[in-house]
Amino acid sequence: MTTAVLITGASSGIGRATAERLLAQPGFTVYATARQPEAIADLGRAGAKVLALDVTDEASMVAAVGAVEEQHGSVGVLINNAGYGEYGTIEEAELDAVRRQFETNVFGFSRMIQLVLPGMRAAGAGRIVNIGSMGGRVTFPVGGYYHATKYAVEAITDALRFETAPFGIHTSLIAPGLIRTGFGATASRTLAASGKAAGPYAALRAAADEQMATSYASPVLAAEPDAVASAVEHAVTSRRPRPRYTVTPAAKAIVQSRRFLGSGLFDAYLRLQFKSKK
């Protein structure tokens, strides 16, 4: 009998790369999900089971988990990947947009965990792999609310790992750095729409947008989605998965720099990085 792997947000980026990797692994039945199943029809042709799943819709989440459990008894592996970045300054960001971001990145993420856990506990086994971010340990300007969602993912994952270990459930956090997906474009688009062109934070927003574009284009700072998929694969297949995987050398360096520099020196570093060059 194969292990059922349920992946949220598989239409692009990290979710898609993970589905493609695990389809090549023996012993797994991969359930790839997206809000629009037609967006992942090619994964179905490659061997995945395709399901509709919107992590902001309760009925959708219940139906997807139920479909997997009907065939396998329980979800063997949950890869909690769905999420996005809504950018803007703390003062200017629309709180309705902030709420939508939390609904996906925190509440939908948490509800998926709640739905799969009873089956995993009954089976006495299971794995939960949560896709977080280096942004759950380091905060950059104009992304405060996004970072708050990823700090929440860190806290939830740490608590979950301890709470469920007695039931044979392994929990891992994947913390990527800059990955070349649609994330950067979404962050840039939402940042541009978040404040007035001549507002008090216009120069900061312009500098941040320039910094993001440069960083995502850098072969040193950014990586392809498969780098994250490789870490997910290890968390899923290893006999002893790690509690946390930080992906990309740049992400590891930034996290450690923030830890050792402290707030004052790190703020000084940010002032240099986010100074407008125009």
- Give pLDDT, residue 37: 95
**Number of other CB atoms surrounding residue 205 within 10 Å:** 25
What value does the mean pLDDT take over residues 2-21?
A: 97
pLDDT tens digits for range 239-256:
999 999 999 999 999 999
Per-residue pLDDT band for 78 (boundaries 50, 70, 90) equals very high
Looking at residue 2, what DSSP letter applies?
P
- Give pLDDT, residue 3: 97
Rounded CA gap, 237 and 96, in Å? 39
Looking at residue 78, what DSSP letter applies?
E
- Give pLDDT, residue 276: 58
pLDDT tens digits for range 179-228:
999 888 888 888 888 888 889 999 999 998 898 889 999 999 999 999 99
Location of structure tokens 């312009």: 206
Per-residue pLDDT band for 76 (boundaries 50, 70, 90) equals very high
When mean pLDDT is compared across 18-27, 51-60, 176-185, the lowest value belongs to 176-185
CA 161 to centroid of chain Cα atoms: 17
> First vs last Cα of the chain: how many Å apart?
60
- Give pLDDT, residue 12: 95
- Given a cut of 80, whether residue 170 has pLDDT beyond it is yes
Domains by residue range for the chain, with CATH: 3-273 (3.40.50.720)
Per-residue pLDDT band for 10 (boundaries 50, 70, 90) equals very high
- Given a cut of 50, whether residue 263 has pLDDT beyond it is yes
Rounded CA gap, 16 and 33, in Å? 9
Q: Which of 183, 171, 170, 275 is nearest to 222 (CA)?
A: 183
Q: Is 107 exposed, middle or buried (0-12, 13-18, 19+ CB in 10 A)?
A: middle
- Give pLDDT, residue 182: 86
Percent share of the chain, pLDDT over 90: 87
Instruction: Please list the active-site residues.
Output: 146
For all residues of the chain together, what is the average pLDDT?
A: 95
- Given a cut of 70, whether residue 278 has pLDDT beyond it is no
